[in-house]
Chains A and B, each alone.
Chain A
Amino acid sequence: MVDNPFDEWLAKRRNVSPSETLVDQIMSRVENLEHQRPDTWPLRLIPRIEQSPAARWAVCGGALVIGGSPFLFLAYVAQLFTF
């Protein structure tokens, strides 16, 4: 038994299934949002690394080794060291 007109209206609306067009529109938007989202794997990885100082140092150290390799190659080409 529903006394309040608003509750009566709400109960009626709940019983009405949404139009297919509306569902399609919403699902389409959701799907587009999924496509527009940036890659999530780095986002998931970053908090994990952030929790460990050693992992942060390792990442930055690795980056330094890779990013500094052109300078090492330059030093090698300049005969400052030989293999």
Chain B
Amino acid sequence: MVSDTISRRVPWVALALSLLSAGVGHLYCGRIAKGLPLYFAWLLVPICITIAAMLPPSPALFMLLVLLPIAIVFFVYLYAAIDAWRLASRIGPDHSLRDYNRAAIYTLLIVVQMIYAFGLIAGVRAWVYEAFRIPSSSMSPTFLPGDRILARKLMPHDHIPKRGDLIVYNNPSPNGATKFVGRVVAIAGDHLEIHGERVLINGKELERDPVPDEALTFLGDKTQGRVAMEVNSGRRYLVAYGDTSDGARSLGDFDATIPSHQVFILGDNRERAKDSRHFGTIQLADIVGDVEYLYWPSHTWSRFGVANDQLP
């Protein structure tokens, strides 16, 4: 409701209010119809990211439903600040005060937006997608040190990973990082044998095809040893062997049937990874999420996109 009281709109106050919370500067200038959509722009991020998590991953989908909404919200924030400042300059001293032109309402709106913006981001990280930075070469050549990956946590309750899936899981041993990235090599009920470099699942050795060096230029000098294309239940992925530089671990032998509700994990850099050969199988309940995107590759942007899709 418009009151009879006339008040001046101060441009820098409109700018400060809009910088605190997009849209509040417009409310200060009496433009509630424009201010409210700007105020709720942050909602775009969790809605779009949740939709992305429910669809099959693709680079286009990632850019459209993850990167674009974040960019839109950022530009809305900048636009709202500039527009509120210009609006207040234009209105000058002739503003008829509205019911909502009160300091208490501005404060409430700013506090609510802060809470919901932080809450939405934390909620997305807790239940939809969580980002991780790869600190070591244990998953090389699939992931190189410094790569940033996105693990999808929004999964059906009864989700069971398949052989060849990349997952993030809670480290069952007390030492080291709290979460590891690894590849599911065998699932519950599989009989797994590991003899040195050979991996046999249900008595059948995993196929390995050599990869020509010229196809591995994207690795730079990030991986030592031999790189091969391993095939496990139709899933193809790169693995590295023979990296015996400092920090290498012995491959060891393993012969067991995987218990129910558990999976066996191997790192793709077999000599350097700490995985199920060292701490045993992983409970399904300890799986944090499926690795879906490599959104910030450390070495070359040609690797950007869906994890494990950029194969030579």
Those of B2-46 within 8 Å (CB) of chain A? 10, 12-13, 15-22, 42, 45
One of A8-16, A18-26, A62-70 at the interface: A62-70
Contacts of B42 in A (CB 8 A): 70
In the complex, which residues 33-80 of chain A have their Cβ closer than 8 Å to any Cβ of chain B?
A: 38-39, 41-42, 46, 50, 56, 59-60, 62-64, 66-71, 73-74, 77-80
Chain A residues with Cβ below 8 Å from B114 are 66, 69-70
Any A CB within 8 A of the CB of B125: yes
Residue contact A38 to B148, C-beta cutoff 8 Å: no
- Knowing A38-B97, A56-B12 are in contact, say whether A73-B104 is a contact too (CB < 8 A): no
Assuming A42-B103, A63-B17, is B97 touching A79 (CB within 8 A)?
Answer: no
Q: Is the pair A82, B133 in contact by a Cβ cutoff of 8 Å? A: yes
- Identity of the chain B residue whose Cβ is nearest the Cβ of A65 in the assembled complex: B19
Choose among A59, A60, A67 the residue that contacts B21 (Cβ–Cβ < 8 A): A67
Q: Chain B, interface size: which category?
A: 35 or more
Collect the chain A residues with CB atoms within 8 Å of residue B22's CB.
Answer: 67
Q: State in angstroms the CA–CA spacing of A57 and B45 once bound together.
A: 30
Distance A61 CA – B45 CA, assembled complex (angstroms): 25
Q: Is the CB of B148 within 8 A of A79?
A: yes
Q: Are A73's CB and B131's CB within 8 A? A: no
Q: Known contacts A38-B97, A39-B103, A73-B121; is A63 also within 8 Å of B148 by CB? A: no
Question: Which range holds the interface residue count of chain A?
Answer: 20 to 34
Contact A66/B118 with A78-B148, A82-B133 known, Cβ cut-off 8 Å = no
B77 interface residue per 8 A CB criterion: yes
B148 touching A60, Cβ below 8 Å: no
Q: Which residues of B contact A39 (CB under 8 A)?
A: 102-104
**C-alpha gap A63/B16 in the complex (Å):** 6
Indicate whether B241 reaches chain A with its CB closer than 8 angstroms.
no
Whether the pair A70, B20 counts as a contact (CB closer than 8 A) is no
- A79 contact set on B, CB distance < 8 A: 131-133, 148, 296
15 A-B pairs with C-beta separation under 8 A: A38-B102, A38-B103, A59-B12, A60-B15, A63-B20, A67-B21, A67-B110, A68-B77, A70-B117, A70-B118, A70-B121, A71-B74, A77-B124, A78-B295, A82-B133
Interchain residue pairs A-B with the least CB separation, the first 6: A70-B117, A63-B19, A63-B16, A79-B133, A67-B20, A67-B19
Write the residues of chain B forming the contact surface with A, with a CB cutoff of 8 angstroms: 10, 12-13, 15-22, 42, 45, 70, 74, 77, 97, 101-104, 110, 114, 117-118, 121-122, 124-125, 131-133, 148, 295-296
